[in-house]
Structure 1
């Protein structure tokens, strides 16, 4: 961060709406916030929660945590309060930095969690809470020069991954530097004239591009969310050169018709990942934008690029358009059987990865770490794939039943647990159904108790009160029975396969 600030100084680093900050301004603000944190007793080895939607202050706040040696614990604002409270409680967070637009939720979390102090971008609503800007104005603008080591944890990022249980993946100073290096080496090589538009949440994959662009002297253009009209207008106005999309966003862009009415000629690179891209959608995107697409495959435990499908690969077309790419230069990839032995070329197995950008392990989860990280340092992805004779990987299934809807991971168990809490529901099973917008739509099959019933909307509202909105079933089917194996295991595939066959 210091190198980027010193090198690029008065260039624009970040833009959000009609506001912009130079490299120097971001750096000084990060210094002030870092000194605020240190003055409040939060320094190297401590953890601070972040509850922020995309905004211009996201960058200096993230950088401030790094400068203070603090590990940040970002919360997805779309999650239910119970999910957010669980994250803060599990990681022992005592300070929550929150956006002005999220004050109500922050107060509710503070009410639920004793001893949680709020440092907000809006006016404090309780005695003892503080305003970030007022505190920063009084703080020193100089870098606190907190010494950090490569193994220091700087990010605790929750993911439901493929197990359905919230897991806190820990990344270190070293792994975060390796992620930036991985992106610059394998995915994109920005320069001073380049700019990336961020419409997806910065706490996930989109945020990993901030540091690479910072190092290169580029601009990060931050939007509060994804709206096709606003997104394309921003590309045109800012002459953006790069965007990062999940398949749902590309589908919405192409369906809106707005691309044809705008000048997007400045775009050089369209990066996509997070969930499999339907081939017809990719081909339509290439016909519209040209050969500008690059795909990555990764996960929170090993972001961003375990494999990459380059522009040249897309130009070759054919079967490669169904691949998730070739192993990145800084990653070892192995496809194994259940015992960890490499399978023959073309056979299906589990992807394992070993790389400098992998996590340091899950927070306070020894048993889960033992199941996920092998003694010799391989991360078990729990994704199933095969490799062709050139080494390109093709995802064929998941080792679990995880649903990826609009780029977000949903595990059926948590939705089923929410449905089973309804007094009318005796049994249920949740699967992913094909959807032209979301790629997969959360779909529930429900068996009612004798003499009981409930409307689809009643059940959806019931789940909405307990889980994030993207986890609420898009469809609910009432059935007489849920298919099970002889030992009583729910056979989700018997429900899911007919939906995909049609």
Structure 2
């Protein structure tokens, strides 16, 4: 039996107690302090009636309390459901409905959103992490009187401890479930394939810890490394923070790297401490990675290919493989991951031919919450996961992504599915027809682009373009808004009358 996530948290605390574990601004906590606070928080949640297996939505941004709160949920056997603060009220509401989360813990900067949700869900319990709410002390205040020892809660390897929403490649909002066992598998995956962390290492986090950045916390914790958390990504602050904290590891999406390379100090900043620049989440423009390597050195860069269903890395492009002929590859299979490429009949394809990427790994999720049909389509009884991505192996085992099995757009590292943007635009009184695709963009990799057919008698102008973008922003997360709106007399269709997104995307990219 392999150790589970709770075991790894306990080990890290015991082995590295007095060392600095977490830094946020001018505040810091040792391993012992994080461990004790997480235990107190776990007891506080239990005292509120949150039992093993309960789903608790976390509406929080990065803070000093981020790691203790996550660890508290693991220790208490609680299934945490992160709510991306960038999403809309309607999207948050749907997440609460879909998971039937009875408890919502919110940060002080998201109190207004919590209040709006409380109006929609008067039967749910809203708990302020750092501030009082509804006549109740903050969770941190309640934790002060609780024991600093780990709660006596029986947990099993297959207990779900994280339900993470992803739109993936199907456009359906899916709740991916990680267990005590699979999340420990992610820790092993990171240590084996990306970063052999030592106590002298420091990782700088600018992205939200609910995204890929957060999976690095446990590996650094287990090996005694330091986690430095920023409130968000600001290129100027990020560059100075690398130097100030002597960061050895950073994890960025391509859009972030693009923003950094455009800074005048990119080539002059002191990055002598930096050993690993890890990137992934969306395709990297060749011009961007070449420019970054020219300035910072090829030896620092690692690319990973992974999915929420199987984090962090399915394949890795190591520094020595960042060569011209391999930069379009996503690397070779991770040490602890099996990969098969299958044709439409489920047979393995010969080397050099494309097929659907199907993987098996200890880091894979246990399935989607309350989605039996989708689970049957995605997971096999013997542990294989259908990614719906199409790939091809070369003779040396490097994996090249050929296409997506759907039309998902990856813009700035975020997944955007065209249908939901189209649905939002179609509620505007001026819109008769619309098609949304991703088009090549130097900054965002893919820009959400809407081709709009207006109703008869409606005049197209710049004001209407801005109005349509704002219309989507009122209904969906900001990153899902179109960055381009193109007016047209019609949109291309297939022979059976369906939107021909490929033809549309090709024509826009060629324009």
TM-score, length of structure 1 as denominator length: 0.98
CA contact (8 A) 1:385 1:393 kept: yes
Deviation of the 1:145 alpha carbon = 3.3
Q: Which whole-Å CA distance do the structure 1 matches of 2:155 and 2:341 have between them?
A: 36
The reply to whether residue 151 of structure 1 matches residue 155 of structure 2 is no
Query: What residue in structure 1 maps to residue 387 of structure 2?
Result: 381
Deviation of the 1:377 alpha carbon = 2.2
The reply to whether residue 54 of structure 1 matches residue 62 of structure 2 is yes
CA contact (8 A) 1:178 1:357 kept: yes
Q: Which whole-Å CA distance do the structure 2 matches of 1:269 and 1:261 have between them?
A: 18
Query: What residue in structure 2 maps to residue 492 of structure 1?
Result: 501
Which stretch of structure 1 is more off in the superposition, 412-421 or 42-51?
Answer: 42-51
CA contact (8 A) 1:103 1:122 kept: no
Deviation of the 1:498 alpha carbon = 2.5
Query: What residue in structure 2 maps to residue 162 of structure 1?
Result: 169
Q: Which whole-Å CA distance do the structure 1 matches of 2:224 and 2:413 have between them?
A: 29
CA contact (8 A) 1:175 1:359 kept: yes
Partner-residue secondary structure (3-state), 2:144: helix
The reply to whether residue 225 of structure 1 matches residue 249 of structure 2 is no
TM-score, length of structure 2 as denominator length: 0.96
Per-residue Cα deviation, 1:421-473 (whole angstroms, up to 9, x for no partner): 11111110000111111111100000111123560011011100000000000
Q: Which whole-Å CA distance do the structure 2 matches of 1:501 and 1:443 have between them?
A: 14
Match 2:350 to one of 344, 348, 352? 344
CA contact (8 A) 2:127 2:133 kept: no
Q: Where in structure 1 are there 5+ consecutive unaligned residues? A: none
Superposition pairs of residues 100-111 of structure 1, within 5 angstroms: 100-111=108-119
The reply to whether residue 444 of structure 1 matches residue 453 of structure 2 is no
CA contact (8 A) 2:129 2:138 kept: yes
Superposition pairs of residues 100-249 of structure 1, within 5 angstroms: 100-127=108-135, 129-249=136-256
Query: What residue in structure 2 maps to residue 460 of structure 1?
Result: 469
CA contact (8 A) 1:118 1:130 kept: no
Query: What residue in structure 1 maps to residue 18 of structure 2?
Result: 10
CA RMSD, 1 decimal: 1.1
Q: Which whole-Å CA distance do the structure 1 matches of 2:197 and 2:381 have between them?
A: 37
Partner-residue secondary structure (3-state), 2:158: coil
The reply to whether residue 29 of structure 1 matches residue 45 of structure 2 is no
CA contact (8 A) 1:95 1:118 kept: yes
Match 1:469 to one of 470, 478, 482? 478
Partner-residue secondary structure (3-state), 2:112: helix
The reply to whether residue 65 of structure 1 matches residue 63 of structure 2 is no
Q: Which whole-Å CA distance do the structure 1 matches of 2:188 and 2:470 have between them?
A: 44
Q: Which whole-Å CA distance do the structure 1 matches of 2:384 and 2:118 have between them?
A: 39
Query: What residue in structure 2 maps to residue 88 of structure 1?
Result: 96
Deviation of the 1:130 alpha carbon = 3.9
Per-residue Cα deviation, 1:268-325 (whole angstroms, up to 9, x for no partner): 00000000111121111111111210111000001011101111212xx132111001
Query: What residue in structure 2 maps to residue 306 of structure 1?
Result: 314
Match 1:260 to one of 258, 267, 270? 267
Per-residue Cα deviation, 1:306-358 (whole angstroms, up to 9, x for no partner): 101111212xx132111001011111101111222111211111111111111
Which stretch of structure 1 is more off in the superposition, 138-147 or 44-53?
Answer: 138-147
Per-residue Cα deviation, 1:160-200 (whole angstroms, up to 9, x for no partner): 00111110000000000000001001111110110000001
CA contact (8 A) 2:130 2:141 kept: no
Q: Which whole-Å CA distance do the structure 1 matches of 2:129 and 2:335 have between them?
A: 41
CA contact (8 A) 2:285 2:442 kept: no
The reply to whether residue 403 of structure 1 matches residue 409 of structure 2 is yes
Q: Which whole-Å CA distance do the structure 2 matches of 1:265 and 1:430 have between them?
A: 43
Q: Which whole-Å CA distance do the structure 1 matches of 2:198 and 2:273 have between them?
A: 14
Match 2:340 to one of 325, 334, 338? 334
Partner-residue secondary structure (3-state), 1:473: coil
Moved over 4 A (4+): none
Which stretch of structure 1 is more off in the superposition, 450-459 or 354-363?
Answer: 450-459
- Total equivalences in the alignment: 499
